[in-house]
Structure 1
Amino acid sequence: MEKVKSEGRKVDSVKLVEEYLKNETYKDALLIQSEILRFSREFLLSKGFIEFLPVIISTITDPLNHDVFDAQIDYYGYKYYVTKSMILQKQVGVLVHDKIFSVSPNLRLEREEKYQSGRHLIDFVQLDLEVKNAKREDIMDLMEDLIIYVIKNILDKYSDIILKYHPTLKIPSKPFEKITVKEAKLLYGNDYEVALSKHSEGPVWLIDMLILEREFYDKQNAKDPETLLDFDLIYPEGFGEGISGGERENEYEQIVKRIELKGNGLESYEDYLNIAKEGFLEPSAGCGIGIERFTRYILGLDHVEKSRLFAKAPGKFSI
């Protein structure tokens, strides 16, 4: 039985390599993705950001707001989680430097039905950034400039590749449109994100998520306590969400209240809560932009798994 299983894996691996060699999409996607990273770094460094190395395992990671399989490592009696996102590390990082970013691998073991979205991988990379004392609007403005900078440079340098894959790609104009979740639900119903993406002519900011629909670390809106001071960026043409972020909770009592509201156990966040209780956390705001999703949007690919080599899509085998 083990021999049959091993041979099956070998056949899949050979077919995968053959696909990389015969399908020019992967060659072009890898080039564009490399340039996305280069231009993004170039832009952020010019704005005074400091790059720090990603954290792969930690005693705490993003709880997420939907069901995934947990990836844990037991090491000499200590439990570590494989990073789903670097929210704690970013909040501590801005105590060392006011503006930080990291090219951060994330592991989210999604259910296989997520494959149908065309935008989910279980192993993906985010450009994760955080700014001390920043507001939500500061980060949104920064990301508009970054997206415009990256797309403009890629169109200038690789117009032939873009013409082949995504001839309708345009450099967005500032400011991007904004719409609240409440407004989007009135317009499009519960499937508002998909509809918003399909009907928009350019990137759109979706803001003021409902408090129970997001994680505990996004800051509650004092003017509308049912909502949060957060955002998603929705790409047009049906490509969906590409950036998620907002202002952060930094006060111990409020963090405890939010964790309990979500029904998460406080013991899972002991290290995080100890840092907050000592008053170390400062007000900050930040976001993560998915590199594979950004690649998919720029090239107009039908599925994000075509945006990189060795992609791990939900429910599918890959070497």
Structure 2
Amino acid sequence: MEEIARNFADFAHPDTESIAIIRGRVLQALQHYLLDRDFKQLMPILMSPITDPLNHAVYPAEIQYEQRRLKLTASMIFHKQLALTAKGHDKIFIVAPNIRLEKAEIKDSENHLLEFSQFDFEIRDGDMHQVMALIEGLIKHVFSEVNQHCAAELAQLNRQLPHFTSAFPIYSSDELRAEHGDDFEKIMSASAQTPFFVTNYRREFYDRETPGKRGAYNNYDLIYPDGYGEALSGAEREFEYEQIVYRMNELSMDLQPFANYLEVARRGLLHPSAGGGLGIERLLKFICGKRRIRDVALFDRTVGTSFLF
């Protein structure tokens, strides 16, 4: 009963309404920015025979439907690639719910949720530099809209949003790791004054390997300053059948569950593309100046929490 009382005390907190108003403005700004650039909005896919295998272990999130075992969406990466083959769908975005049943080792994370939403987008024939420029413009636009329309709410939160006028710096993970060690993201985020990009991570098979350069990758993360950490993960995509199989075998993956996806690639139907997924709750946490991601959502879904509802 005490837990229920605490839960509803959070509902009554004076910041709750301000965060909700900012959330609405953020979502509107994100969508309008891409709609104004001729993106098509898709509805999310919540279950599929396959989903993002991710670059770290999570508990399986699956349901049984009659004779089929279906996975709950961890990200819409494969559906984004497939959607780009549809007529007129050369630029797409989705406000996409994701289920990731994270393991206990990250239960103290201030940034991880068991379910969260991404502002997910993809551009046919796009490259990493085009997408990084789009992301920078998108972030600056959202901040401008919140500053313009949510002054009272920011005051309630005692938050003064920074103004980012210069270009976001771009670093390679190799140079940062050499300088700071494996915790370079955390170290750089703590000292940075502006969001910055980090490129060249070794991770999922669908992040494109740099042509002609084995072991280098055309991918990128956006990192927030002031210790807020990762904002977005994205990449150019593998689209050629032989290269996809090579990358999957390199990671010792079972190809059988991906047979339909691989057949589409074998037929040459996938397009070159690039995109990313921006964590909406993480963006809201940064804008609102909150340190715990649970503070920007009514219903707590942080790892390790015994949520009631």
List per-residue Cα deviations over 1:278-312 (Å, max 9, x = no partner).
Answer: 21100000100000000001111011111111121
Alignment size in residue pairs: 306
Is the deviation greater in 144-153 or in 105-114?
Answer: 105-114
Alignment of structure 1 residues 16-55 onto 2, 5 Å? 16-21=7-12, 23-55=13-45
Q: Give the helix-richer structure, 1 or 2.
A: 1
1:114 to 100, 106, 116: 106
- What corresponds to 2:180 in structure 1? 188
- What corresponds to 1:6 in structure 2? none
Compute the displacement of 1:241 (Å): 0.3
Q: Which amino acid aligns with 2:177?
A: K
SS of the counterpart of 1:202?
coil
Q: Which amino acid aligns with 1:89?
A: H
Q: Distance in 2 between matches of 1:173 and 1:68?
A: 38
Q: Distance in 1 between matches of 2:48 and 2:26?
A: 28
Q: Which amino acid aligns with 2:245?
A: V
Q: Over the residues paired in the alignment, what is the CA RMSD in angstroms?
A: 1.4
C-alpha contact 1:25 1:306 (8 A) present in aligned 2: no
Compute the displacement of 1:17 (Å): 2.1
SS of the counterpart of 1:95?
coil
Q: Which amino acid aligns with 2:102?
A: E
Is the deviation greater in 162-171 or in 118-127?
Answer: 162-171
C-alpha contact 2:61 2:101 (8 A) present in aligned 1: yes
Identity rate of aligned residues, in percent? 33
Q: Distance in 2 between matches of 1:45 and 1:183?
A: 36
**TM-score normalised by structure 2 residue count:** 0.95
- What corresponds to 1:307 in structure 2? 296
Does the C-alpha gap of structure 1 residues 120 and 274 become closer, same or farther in structure 2, counting only changes over 3 Å?
same
1:277 to 266, 283, 287: 266
Residues 1:143 and 2:135 aligned together? yes
Residues 1:12 and 2:3 aligned together? yes
- What corresponds to 1:83 in structure 2? 73
Q: Distance in 2 between matches of 1:53 and 1:167?
A: 33
Q: Distance in 2 between matches of 1:47 and 1:315?
A: 40
Residues 1:124 and 2:116 aligned together? yes
Does the C-alpha gap of structure 1 residues 270 and 199 become closer, same or farther in structure 2, counting only changes over 3 Å?
same
List per-residue Cα deviations over 1:106-158 (Å, max 9, x = no partner).
Answer: 00001233232211111100011001000011111001111000101101111
Q: Distance in 2 between matches of 1:139 and 1:166?
A: 33
2:218 to 229, 238, 255: 229
C-alpha contact 1:105 1:126 (8 A) present in aligned 2: yes
**TM-score normalised by structure 1 residue count:** 0.92
Is the deviation greater in 260-269 or in 167-176?
Answer: 167-176
List per-residue Cα deviations over 1:1-47 (Å, max 9, x = no partner).
Answer: xxxxxxxxx653443123211x2222222211111101111111000
Residues 1:251 and 2:269 aligned together? no
Q: Which amino acid aligns with 2:26?
A: I
Q: Which amino acid aligns with 1:123?
A: E
Q: Distance in 2 between matches of 1:164 and 1:261?
A: 51
- What corresponds to 2:56 in structure 1? 66
